[in-house]
A and B are shown apart, each in its own frame.
Chain A
Amino acid sequence: GAGVSQSPSNKVTEKGKDVELRCDPISGHTALYWYRQSLGQGLEFLIYFQGNSAPDKSGLPSDRFSAERTGGSVSTLTIQRTQQEDSAVYLCASSPPGGRAYNEQFFGPGTRLTVL
């Protein structure tokens, strides 16, 4: 079946503009995660959705970052008033039911964001 998809694959924007990044998880997966990866670095957790529970937003770096997940499926990560330090690859992952992160995560190809 189809894997996790993300769009756009690349986004170039000017400093101060808002951007929206989209993630379509695997059908039936209840958990959805957003990560950020700066060049040559590991993954930084941003936010986690599990079913209808309140999301875990503990990794969001500032109030310019927000995310929503509509209908328990598609998720959008929004960055307002982008800064150059926001430039990174944003990765989305989903995992099947089973509770918590006790299962493997399936990653999308990522969105490479460049803020000029």
Chain B
Amino acid sequence: DAGITQSPRYKITETGRQVTLMCHQTWSHSYMFWYRQDLGHGLRLIYYSAAADITDKGEVPDGYVVSRSKTENFPLTLESATRSQTSVYFCASSDGTSGGHEQYFGPGTRLTVT
């Protein structure tokens, strides 16, 4: 039972490069989310998806692109990485968003933009 996985776990890239972070879940959850976690801040929502081919912006979407062609995958692309995008990125999934539905988080990807 793999659950929710992220790859790569660590990534160093240069300013201006495109980089894609992968997220895969094996539960067939309808909802998937991308968050970033920065020191001194709580997790902030970048994008979320309610189902395949349905995505919507979160709190901090600028500079990011997402897609969801399959229920189990939700890649996050930084089209032209900037130093301000250095962060730890967490993917999460859930079967719904009401109180009875847990969000399950992946292990995170630590991204450094030089």
**Do they bind each other?**
no
Seen from chain A, the residues whose Cβ lies within 8 Å of a Cβ on chain B are: none
Seen from chain B, the residues whose Cβ lies within 8 Å of a Cβ on chain A are: none
